[in-house]
Structure 1
């Protein structure tokens, strides 16, 4: 398939997942700050912005309003919810001959609702719930309307890389001083709480509960939002896109990077991961970034980085 189409589908998967996961992370943050009236909101917001890769300059204000503007409503930033969904819509426009009409209409309708600005006046938890619903609709339409060919593999590859990265960022908020959301809240934010209770038949509080919750979100091979499951899905997509039977090693740089990241997690105990949680999650994020660069160099080297600006139609 054309590298232009492949790149667009890859980034649609990444941007839709980024919007969904950012909404989940912000939902955890807002609930956590509202539940604790003594929390230092500025310190927490600065820590969260640092985890999300958008640190605040010294002296700049960083309250809840500024946090939501940067990570939820900024239409020019692909790191924000609005910017990511706008970028997904733009990439769908570029690949209009490949994506289904239902998928295009869903992304276009979502972007039009965001561009109107009416969601800025809505309570944050309601906005986050709407974003999760809209991204779930897009993913459902992809599952229902796309053939399982290379276009599907590129979409799932992008989604899996972004999911591993964003789940690592969500878990990383547990390790950052001043943020420290509880494990039950992290499980609920990923939609994992009920699945966790069925798997472990117990509470997620206390020392044993923390170990089990970390194991579930990081190492579980059956839960689709765990880091290991997302990395395995990305590896499977790479193998399907470029099967290369070899007697030794892997030719693709992306597969080597992801394989090392996955095995480093799988051969560590949950207790070891908790001891150095921040460094472990940073390693996962760096691996996803390196793998994304390797995918771009291998499959769409002439296209360059995907960018999006307001005003394009």
Structure 2
């Protein structure tokens, strides 16, 4: 069901509210990963990691059909120290899962018009939200933004707040339009949401932008004059990392934008075909090569 507008405004306000006085525990150092290229059964779209070094991934399935309810998609894991992927979810559970997050023993993933909360060990569905009343077919990336789960809907040009416990959702309505939103990331210092667009113009030329959204004022700001078909997005230490399908199979397929200087540079250190929703893992990038059915683990390159 949809959240009434007033409640959504309160939710958005809470996103930018000051955090509690108690400081969070220091993050544990991640176990180091070795460079590797791992073949996947099906087309991987997104990856996530836990603090034990296990790499989780979504697979759209044997066919690259991201909007079809064909029941051949699944969630998988590459256990730490292994290069042998294993399936987590049962056959006939998912259709075409895309975005993926790991948090406190659970995996959150999007699947066409659904958002699932899944036990990372058992594959059991522990919660879900059905967004099909909003008529989308391409729920995409998701991110915890100041403790709240946000989801991009690429085909309907929308961003949603989602609650898997109450099975409710509501739209974050921005003052300026966002076209084909894909990757999402949260900047806890500036308290803005970063968004990248997977968009082309009427001639088929890449036209996607890198944007920031203020969740209180709902203002949208362009961060760069670059244009692309952007997919994955990550924020770290004053910089945005983003993948670009218009630079497929090149180091430019993943780039880094310095938010202070506005300069960008490629950071992938090897070819990737169909770079989708990657993660930064210590000094490494873990990136799905969606069209080549592989997951790449490689060092982060480029100058900072």
Provide TM-score, normalisation by structure 1: 0.27
Q: Tell me: higher relative CO, structure 1 or 2? Use CA pairs within 8 A at least 6 residues apart.
A: 1
Provide TM-score, normalisation by structure 2: 0.27
Structure whose alpha-carbon radius of gyration is higher: 1
Between structures 1 and 2, the one with greater helix share: 1
